[in-house]
Structure 1
Amino acid sequence: MHGFPKTMLILGGIITLISVIAVGVGYGSVFSSIADEDDANLKLIWTGTAPTSWDASELESGWVYIYSSTDYGDDVEVTLIGADANNFFVSCETQDSCGAGISKDTGEFVRYLGELEYSTTTQTRLVEFNGTGEIEVYQETLGELEWSMMTAGFGVWGCCCGVLFLIIGAISAAAINDNRPKLVVLQQPVYESGQYVQDSSRINQVQNTAPTIEQEALAYYQNLLHQGHSIETANELTEVYFPNWKK
């Protein structure tokens, strides 16, 4: 097998094998993450005590969730300086989701104030907190479920690439085999009537019509008789040239 088809087949097999393993690991982790209801993917990135402000201009793209540890969420008012179509604050009242609970990071009783959404970096993105209370800002990160789904997705993509390489290698190997020169076996020519005969049908014809030794001996014996030799003499002379002659 030539180098290119062999390389494609080996590479395709390796990629397919690794991808199948990735798919198995990824989907296995997905089911495990779904079964685990305590798979939190919020990361505490900033805390402060109102009244205060937070410079969020370095954030690139995404959103953050803002909570207040005061007993009454209405005691803290959030204002975004530099708000535009790509950077804005959405209050919990707008979302109808002003819930409360215990923070896993601080253990404090917190109320949800809203979320800051942003899609580009900007020189001015200042979040002001007016009122009283402890402020906690959380950013959503890729949890185990998301990483598992990404692993499974890359595994599926890798399987497709591996199978494609295998197909290319198989087609290339078949094409190279078809283009190999055919081995032609030439028959030895037969000498007939002062010339060599190469055609296979003529060779068979010449070989089939060639006299046998017995026929040549008989013809020689009969020729001696026509020349006037006796039967005994003809037998003796024929045995000289044809030792196996028996009459």
Structure 2
Amino acid sequence: MHIASKVILIIGVIMFIGSIVSMGLGIGDIMDLGEDRTYLEEQSSGTFTVNENESWDIEVYIIHPVDCESVDLTIVDSTGNNAIEYEYGCYNDDMMNYTEGDRESFASISHKISGMEYTLSSNVDVDIAGYYCDEACEEEAISSGIAIAGGFGGICCSVLILIIGIIMAFTLDDSKTHTVMQVGQMPVGQATYQAPITGQAPVAQTMYQPPVGQAIQPAAVPITPITPPLTQQPPVEQAPQPAAVPVTPITPPLTQQPPVEQQPAQTPFWDEKPPQ
């Protein structure tokens, strides 16, 4: 497997595991946030008192199966005023397919006074529960929501990275070319030379010519070029020479001309005597 595909797969696995852990921690934190309390459970009539302050959210849940078109539900406080603030309605269709025992949020109660008593009257069974979350709880809920969103996005990205890594593992080739040279074998393309031996003709040199069109592979070991001898003729045996005698250098004369012979002195013609 190619090293690049290994790195991609490892990154994808780490991202996938980290994203699942982040998403799971975010969901667990949201489920544990705040406080909740149940005032009525599977009741169609009765009274209940909410001792918590106005920061609590009081919700009414109808229990399926019910005929949404025939639901009749009223809640009044101790002063006789209608306590339902928002009525969400009931939706039991193909898009919202509830099973037996499922709860659906039907309405919310306007709770403003601690210790207020409320009276329920309905033709279907309902649950009434309260939920409270302060500012610190809301900030933690936002952080948990970001962790859940980041975990979901990380899972999607890690799956994509894993797919890319698997494709690279099947497409990239990790074959390596190994150069093996046997002991005593001359590298291809290197010329050999054998020094001439006295009295014996030199061995013909062998040159390797690579085929046309084939790239010459570089030699594994640097080759020092060997200069062949200038002549390929066998050496001629020379006769032994006598021992050298030291020669004393002779200083030549200053002049190399031969000495001039001296002639007898001649008498001037006025001093000549007549012949006797």
Between 1 and 2, higher relative CO (CA 8 Å, sep ≥ 6) is seen in 1
- Please tell me whether Structure 1 or Structure 2 has the larger radius of gyration of its CA atoms: 2
Q: Whose helix proportion is higher, 1 or 2?
A: 1
Q: TM-score, normalised by structure 1?
A: 0.33
Q: Which has the higher strand share?
A: 1
TM-score, normalised on structure 2?
Answer: 0.30
